Structures are given as structure tokens and as C-alpha cells.
């Protein structure tokens, strides 16, 4: 079965990288990493471009006009279908 890992982020690209590296290092290979970002700058977008080019298991969504709670709720709905 596929395992889904959900990560929300807001203006903390350094912590996102730590979480993302941990998710990517899992030994179970059939997984998908879903990241939703409501940051107000583009630093996370820039960093994510590198990861997206390296690993097709990563799905990244930049959420314009979301609040932190909206971002979290959207991710939960995305993960549970």
C-alpha cells in the first residue's frame, strides 16, 4: 500500500528541508510526500524546485491567500480523499 506523508509549511524553509529529507530517507519506497505551502515569500518555492526535480514522489502546492488553518485543513482533505 502507498503511504502518504503530509507536510504543511509557512515561512520556515529550513525546517521544511529537515522534514523533507527525513521523509525522503524512509526505507519504505511506496510513498508520496504532499507539501502545502502558504508562505508569504518565494524562498520555499525556490527550494522546492530542486526537490521536485530530484524526486517524483513529491507533490507541492503553493496556497495563495490561505491561513495556517486553511492550509492544514486542505492538506488533511487531500490526504484522506
Read off the pLDDT of residues 27-56 as tens digits, 9 standing for 90 and up: 998 999 999 998 988 999 999 999 999 999
Residue 20: closest CA among 10, 5, 30: 5
Residue 54, all three cell numbers = 530530484
For the four alpha carbons of 67, 14, 48 and 55, in that order, the dihedral sign comes to negative
Q: What does the alpha-carbon distance between residue 4 and residue 54 come to, in Å, rounded to a whole number?
A: 18
Contact between 7 and 77 (Cβ < 8 Å): no
For residue range 54-78, list pLDDT tens digits in order.
999 999 999 887 777 887 888 888 7
Q: What is the pTM of this model?
A: 0.85
SS3 of the chain: helix, strand, coil, percent, to 5: 45, 25, 30
Amino acid at each position: 500500500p502507498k503511504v502518504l506523508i503530509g507536510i504543511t509549511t509557512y515561512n520556515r524553509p529550513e525546517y521544511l528541508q529537515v522534514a523533507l529529507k527525513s521523509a525522503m530517507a524512509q526505507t519504505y519506497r511506496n510513498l508520496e510526500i504532499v507539501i502545502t505551502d502558504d508562505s508569504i515569500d518565494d524562498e520555499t518555492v525556490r527550494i522546492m524546485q530542486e526537490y521536485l526535480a530530484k524526486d517524483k514522489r513529491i507533490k507541492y502546492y503553493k496556497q495563495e491567500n490561505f491561513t495556517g488553518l486553511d492550509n492544514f485543513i486542505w492538506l488533511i482533505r487531500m490526504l484522506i480523499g
